[in-house]
Amino acid sequence: MFNFTINATNGAARAGTLTLPHGAVHTPCFMPVGTQGTVRALAPLDLEAVGAEILLANTYHLHVRPGEDTVAALGGLHRFMAWPKPLLTDSGGFQIFSLEAFRRVDDDGVEFRSHVDGAVRRLTPERAVEIQWALGADVTMALDHVVSGTASRGEVEAALQRTGRWLARARQRLAELAVGAPERQTLWPVLQGGTYADLRQAAVHATLDAGAWTGIAVGGLAVGEPNHVMYAVLEGLEASLPRGVPRYLMGVGFPEDLLHALARGMDLFDCVAPTRNGRNGSAYTPDGPLNIRNAAHRQDPGPLDPTCDCETCRCYSRGYLRHLFVAEELLGLRLLSLHNVRFVVRLMNQARQRILDGTFDPWYREWVARYRARGES
Q: pLDDT tens, 345-363?
A: 999 999 999 999 999 999 9
Angle between helices 153-177 and 197-209 (to 10 degrees): 20
Helices (H), ranges, the chain: 44-49, 59-64, 68-73, 77-80, 93-98, 125-135, 153-177, 197-209, 227-238, 255-262, 273-279, 311-315, 318-326, 330-357, 360-373
Q: Which CATH superfamily is domain 3-271 in?
A: Queuine tRNA-ribosyltransferase-like (3.20.20.105)
**Residue 366 confidence (pLDDT):** 98
pLDDT tens column, 245-274: 999 999 999 999 999 999 999 999 999 999
As annotated, the active-site residues are: 90, 270
**Residue 193 confidence (pLDDT):** 98
**Residue 377 confidence (pLDDT):** 67
| pLDDT average, residue stretch 188-211 | 98
Neighbouring CB atoms inside 10 A of 183's CB total 10
Delimit the domains of the chain by residue range: 3-271, 279-373
